[in-house]
Amino acid sequence: MSRMLFAALVLAATAGFVAYKDPEAVARASDTVSEFMRERALASSPRAVQIPRGRNGEFALRAKINGVTAPMVVDTGATSVVLTYETAKAAGLPLELLDYNVDVETAGGHTKAARLTLDRLAIGRLVERSVPALVVQHGQMKTNLLGMSFLDRLESWEVRSDHLMLRGYP
């Protein structure tokens, strides 16, 4: 931490010296130092995960659902975490007990889903328990969605440039 503080101070002093008598340059340098410090603090946080934007514009990630790794796409338009039938089966969820009585609209059209609760959903260092989710019927979706039933539990999430930052509560 002291190295980071020292580097920031040197950067600020250098920027101030170079930009002397130019208030706009001083303000830009100050903003740059502030942004650098903020990003460093977020990156080192034990409850933060940064996800790069993929070539197709989506924020794709690997999650652990009840300990089983599964690909997911962040979808702020989805009110819930939504799992494919195949992922739910791999995660050991009780599919034979589910009632597919929830109407959902997907990119592929209208389908039915079943409500359940995930014991544990982990995205990197962020771990949430008892997460409400939906499972769609076999073959109805190709991608698992990380929706608002997970994102709403976080302290914050934001998109900056080509990165999504998820921050959990301390």
Spatial contact of 78 and 145, defined as CB atoms under 8 Å apart: yes
Question: Which pLDDT does position 167 carry in this prediction?
Answer: 96
d(CA 76, CA 28): 32
Q: Are residues 28 and 69 in the same domain?
A: no
Q: Are residues 112 and 34 in the same domain?
A: no
Question: Which pLDDT does position 3 carry in this prediction?
Answer: 62
Nearest to 113 by CA among 73, 154, 147: 147
| Total domains in the fold of the chain | 2
Per residue in 17-59, pLDDT tens? 555 556 676 666 666 666 665 555 555 556 899 999 999 999 9
Spatial contact of 163 and 51, defined as CB atoms under 8 Å apart: yes
Question: Which pLDDT does position 107 carry in this prediction?
Answer: 77
163: CATH: 2.40.70.10
Q: Are residues 67 and 93 in the same domain?
A: yes
CA angle 141, 143, 146 (to 5 degrees): 120
Question: Which pLDDT does position 106 carry in this prediction?
Answer: 81
Q: Are residues 28 and 91 in the same domain?
A: no
Q: Are residues 36 and 111 in the same domain?
A: no
Q: Are residues 119 and 71 in the same domain?
A: yes
Give the position of tokens 């996800």.
51
Q: Are residues 70 and 16 in the same domain?
A: no
Q: Are residues 68 and 126 in the same domain?
A: yes
- The encoded tokens of residue 10 equal 């040197």
Q: Are residues 29 and 61 in the same domain?
A: no
Question: Which pLDDT does position 63 carry in this prediction?
Answer: 98
Question: Which pLDDT does position 81 carry in this prediction?
Answer: 98
Question: Which pLDDT does position 109 carry in this prediction?
Answer: 85
Q: Are residues 72 and 138 in the same domain?
A: yes
Residues of the chain with pLDDT under 50: none
Domain residues for 128?
A: 49-167
Question: Which pLDDT does position 40 carry in this prediction?
Answer: 56
> Model-level pTM?
0.74
The edge-to-edge listing of strands for the beta sheet with 48-52 is 48-52, 163-167, 156-160
Q: Are residues 33 and 94 in the same domain?
A: no
Question: Which pLDDT does position 130 carry in this prediction?
Answer: 97
- The encoded tokens of residue 104 equal 């959902």
d(CA 85, CA 108): 15
3-state helix, strand, coil in the chain (%, to 5): 30, 40, 30
Q: Are residues 62 and 113 in the same domain?
A: yes
